[in-house]
Amino acid sequence: MNPNFETINYDETTLNHGGYGATLFDPRWKARRKEILERDHHTCVICQSKIKLQVHHRQYQFSRTLNVFNNPWEYTDSLMITLCNTCHQKGHNLYKVPIKYIK
């Protein structure tokens, strides 16, 4: 396993409350989310659904220097994909999102 990566299983409470959940209301995230949805033609990249779409982070990045996770809008395009709610939940139930530790 790459020493720069660690897996963590966030439950719904962790992701929807506290600091992370609050960032999802930030105008910078709303704008970034819109960019990703437009890039993916407002379609789930797995099942092609066009309803209940969400933007999924394929990786979380943690700054060791700042001791914080990157804000959701600070990720590159390649680390974000459009998923419908069903595919997003299935994915989180089957896989852990890796964390990359950065400077």
Looking at residue 18, what is its pLDDT? 53
Residues of the chain with pLDDT under 50: 1-17
Q: CB-based contacts of 52: which residues, under 8 Å, 6+ apart?
A: 84, 85, 86
Number of structural domains found in the chain: 1
The secondary structure element, H or E, covering residue 29 is helix 27-39
Domain with 19, as residue range(s), is 5-102
The whole-model pTM stands at 0.78
Looking at residue 6, what is its pLDDT? 36
Looking at residue 13, what is its pLDDT? 38
